[in-house]
Structure 1
Amino acid sequence: MDTNRKLTDKTGKKPPTPSHKYSFRLNEEQNIRFNELLCKAGLEHNRSRFIVKRIFEEEFVVIKRDPSKVQFVARLNDFYFQFQKLANNCAPVKVI
């Protein structure tokens, strides 16, 4: 027997992974609440992942970006690089 078989079928494609699809209906109040939960979680773009994580009580982390903090970090990095350039320019002077 050949134990080193490839994981492809005769056409060279991988066999499809088994998946199951479910659908459900929400009334107007439930839909509003569902959309609020999506917004709080920050997963508006991926509803199916949000639903699965909520059903199986898996933890999901929401990372919110604050534009002012991003600007602060960028300026701090620029400041750090200026010191690094100064150190690199002074290194040849120390050798002499």
Structure 2
Amino acid sequence: MMDLNKKSKGGRKPKLNPSKNRHVFRLTDEENIKFLNLYEASGMSNKAKFITTILFQKELKIVKVDISTIDYHTQLTKFFYQFQSIGNNYNQIVKILYRNFSEKKASFYLFKLENHTRELALICKQIIELTKEFEQNHIQKNYEK
């Protein structure tokens, strides 16, 4: 009989600072879409924590990842490394030409190499123009949003 009078000590320990107060608010459809977009972009796992973070002006960081910008950056990086390797190969070819061929023959091949280098320079200028255009049209618009 003495066991029935004792209270059970099992269960979860009470929180030190429990959230007891509850607030309810309503949103229009447009406001709800905007709210859900902000919530998803924040990466938080709990809507209540998200709302309290915004209300009490704690710093909220939202990182937007644009796949097309990342792909473009990757391609530019590949071009950069290819131009570096072309420069290294260019130096090696010039040394080999002057070592293994007569000066007249080496000059002939260097002339051909120079023409191809001009073509590469034009391609490089086009890449720079496309990059500037991409930054103006795509990246600037993302920052305005």
TM-score by length of 1: 0.48
Say which one has the larger Rg: 2
Q: Could you state the TM-score of these two structures normalised by the residue count of structure 2?
A: 0.36
Would you tell me which structure has more helix in proportion to its own residues? Answer: 2
